[in-house]
Amino acid sequence: HGTAEKYAASIEKTGLKPGSRMYVHLSPDIETAVTVGKRHGRPIVYEVKSGQMHRDGFPFYRSVNGVWLTHNVPEVYLERMESSVFTRSITI
């Protein structure tokens, strides 16, 4: 999941919420997550433990444009990626 740095504290406290949308939108890859995060400032990327979420009963849906959707992502299923991991092959 890509977001801007200014949202990180809230996300790490309460997880990902859909806000004004019906679903939380999850990027299918790191490159897309970085692009999404850059829209509103310095990008932050979270790894979503989607496999564990699915095993724990959370539903996922895939939109026609390849974006993964879910109702919410509790903070326990998120891991903030170090920027060095996603900037090796991507220029910010």
- Where exactly are the structural domains of the chain? 2-84
Longest dimension (CA), the chain: 36
Q: What is the pLDDT of residue 82?
A: 83
Q: 27 and 38 in contact (C-beta within 8 Å)?
A: no
Q: What is the mean pLDDT of residues 79-83?
A: 89
Residue range 45-60: mean pLDDT, rounded: 97
Q: Which fold has domain 2-84?
A: ADP-ribosylation fold (3.20.170)
Q: What is the DSSP letter of 28?
A: S
Q: Let me know: does 30 contact 45? Beta carbons within 8 Å.
A: yes
User: How deeply is 8 buried, as exposed, middle or buried, from its count of CB atoms within 10 A (0-12, 13-18, 19+)?
Assistant: middle
pTM: 0.84
User: What does the pLDDT read at residue 47?
Assistant: 95
Q: Are the C-beta atoms of residues 15 and 73 closer than 8 Å to each other?
A: yes
pLDDT tens for each residue of 56-69? 999 999 999 889 99
